[in-house]
Amino acid sequence: MTWRARSALFSIAAGVALCAAGFLLMLATPVTTAQADQPVEAAGDDSACLVCHTEDTPQQMTFADGSQISIAVDHAALLASVHGHSQPDGPLGCSSCHGEGIFPHDNPPAASIREYRVTQSNICIDCHEDQSGNLGDGVHYTALLMGNLRSATCVDCHGAHDVQGPERSAVDIAQTCGSCHQIVYDEFSQSVHGKALLAGDPNVPTCIDCHGVHGIQHPTTALFRNRSPQLCAGCHADEQLMAQYGITTNVFNSYLSDFHGTTVALFEQIAPDVASNKAVCYDCHGVHNIAPSDDNKSQVVRENLLATCQQCHPDATADFPDAWVGHFPPTFDSHPLLFVVDSFYTVLIPVVLSAFIFLVLTDIIRRVRRRISGSDKA
């Protein structure tokens, strides 16, 4: 059925309803006027729209490219959504987002259903300025602006008529992201974080805890990389949180005192936008696939460590991973040579300096005494 033919059929069917709708619109108008000074127009009565946009209408709208969308609207879901009865001024009406519907509607408002969704999402920004403030920095919005219509827009994550508040479960969030990023989700759900998340642990990170929400940074940028150790440290340097899992919080400090960490921290301080090639947490531990450090799947368990080092140091040999001191303070048992060197200089530096200072002081004493006795003579 062509659009034109369907449109004609539409007109006949709708014509019958129009009389009733017109009547209802008249009833609705005074309500709207009464609330005209409200910032959000609570359009009170959607009954005119609901004449056609019933919950179970088989009617489809066809776009120029042939893609179709059902015109059915689950009005109950709308009323139950954040835009429904929970609004202080009453539920938002259809026209709040879709504009004043003049019947019959124009031809399909976009070339494809996807284009329609993306365009329609711009309307969200009208009210949700705060949330969209850093949208422009985010990868999804940037991709949309560059013409990639597949990139996520508001309704892809939040839903449309059934939009719910941001208080969603961590699992729900991960699954929402996973609906596009399936590979990442699959990998994550097998990781130490993902498994715990799916098991209901409230402390482990879900996607947005590391990536952010509206202003999601591309994780391959220098900035993201240079700041990533602090991101991990946000939880892993938190004594209280880590105590629940028996994980040392020394990981961050020991990383910072290592060659890699020192370098990355300096990049972060001095030139955060310049890429450093020194390892950050996820280069060794993995990203979405992080396994417990004693798991045989872990990249940092002793059997796998050489291969992990070889990612950056391809010529590394079997003993090379021992150059990494680890995340625990070195002891005589764990690192005898390092311990001896540290102890040696801990003694040598004060001894040598005290000796020099003592010699200098005796010389100063003599000079002062000579000056006093000299002036006495004079």
d(C-alpha 166, C-alpha 127), whole Å: 15
Cβ at position 104, least distance to other proteins in Å: 20
Cβ at position 34, least distance to other proteins in Å: 34
**Residue 61's closest CA among 127, 6, 142, 99?**
6
Q: Match 């062509």 to its residue by tokens.
A: 2
Cβ at position 39, least distance to other proteins in Å: 29
Q: Closer to other proteins at the Cβ: 184 or 242?
A: 184
Q: Closer to other proteins at the Cβ: 35 or 142?
A: 142
Cβ at position 190, least distance to other proteins in Å: 14
Q: Closer to other proteins at the Cβ: 85 or 369?
A: 369
d(C-alpha 142, C-alpha 151), whole Å: 9
**Residue 139's closest CA among 148, 129, 130?**
148
**Residue 324's closest CA among 299, 288, 287?**
299
Cβ at position 135, least distance to other proteins in Å: 16
Does residue 88 have a cis bond before it (omega within 30 degrees)? no
- Which residues have C-beta within 8 Å of that of residue 292, sequence separation ≥ 6? 192, 298
Cβ at position 339, least distance to other proteins in Å: 9
Q: Closer to other proteins at the Cβ: 9 or 353?
A: 353
Q: Closer to other proteins at the Cβ: 244 or 362?
A: 362
Q: Closer to other proteins at the Cβ: 20 or 340?
A: 340
Cβ at position 356, least distance to other proteins in Å: 4
Q: Closer to other proteins at the Cβ: 143 or 242?
A: 143
Burial 318-337 (b: 16+ CB within 10 A, else e): eeebeebeebeeeeeeebee
